[in-house]
Amino acid sequence: MDDSSKSKEDQQALFKAAVKKHGGWARMAGNGQGIDRHLLGLKLLKKPDEKLPEMYNDPVYQRSNNWVLSTSAVFSKHFRPYGWGEVVPEGFGVAYMTGFDDYLQYTITSRTEMPNEKFCQEIEQAAQDLYDLHAVPKAHL
């Protein structure tokens, strides 16, 4: 989105590809087919007296289990605001709602030492960027 050498059409195509890829991964995870589910399943099969395999101590695996950003959405304008706290001390909890004609609703939580204002500004800018990317020019209405 920040690459000024990309045309609006290129950005739209890249966004569409990203949404398609994300949707595929989300469907797999929702059906219990996400890679994290397999690794969790194997970890849970370990007997109490067995040593945890070294793979679970790998820094990449450890980082993948540190939920700095925890998000979820409700897609209804009939549900009242909701939210939750951050999952890890250095994280953010982001509950958001869509389904409104003229706004998005976010509940963003974190500890006070986090860069809360900057994070909120980035979310606002991302929403504006997406609106600008997909808005139909008035001449086409």
CA–CA separation, 87 and 42 (whole Å)? 23
Q: What's the CA gap between 66 and 63, in Å, rounded?
A: 5
79 domain-assigned: yes
Question: How far are the Cα atoms of 14, 17, 32, 35, 38 from residue 23, in angstroms, in the given order?
Answer: 14, 10, 14, 15, 19
The three-point CA angle 28-109-31 to 5° equals 10
Task: For residue 76, give Cα distances in angstroms to 19, 71, 100.
Answer: 20, 16, 8
Q: How far apart are CA 117 and CA 107, in angstroms?
A: 13
What does the pLDDT read at residue 140?
61
Asked whether residue 4 is domain-assigned, the answer is no
Which residue range forms the structural domain that includes residue 124? 68-141
- What pLDDT is attached to residue 2? 82
Is there a domain that residue 77 lies in? yes
Could you tell me if residue 100 is inside a domain? yes
Using pLDDT thresholds of 50, 70 and 90, give the confidence band for residue 39.
confident
pLDDT digits over 59-115, tens only?
999 888 899 999 988 877 677 778 888 999 999 999 988 877 788 888 999 999 999
Better-scored residue on pLDDT, 26 or 89: 89
Which pLDDT score, from 0 to 100, does residue 135 have?
87
Query: Is residue 29 situated within a structural domain?
Result: no
The percentage of the chain sitting over the pLDDT mark of 90, rounded to a whole number, equals 51
* Domain count along the chain: 1
> Could you tell me if residue 73 is inside a domain?
yes
Does residue 103 belong to any structural domain of this protein?
Answer: yes
CA dihedral 32, 34, 38, 39 (to 10 degrees): -140
Question: Is 56 domain-assigned?
Answer: no
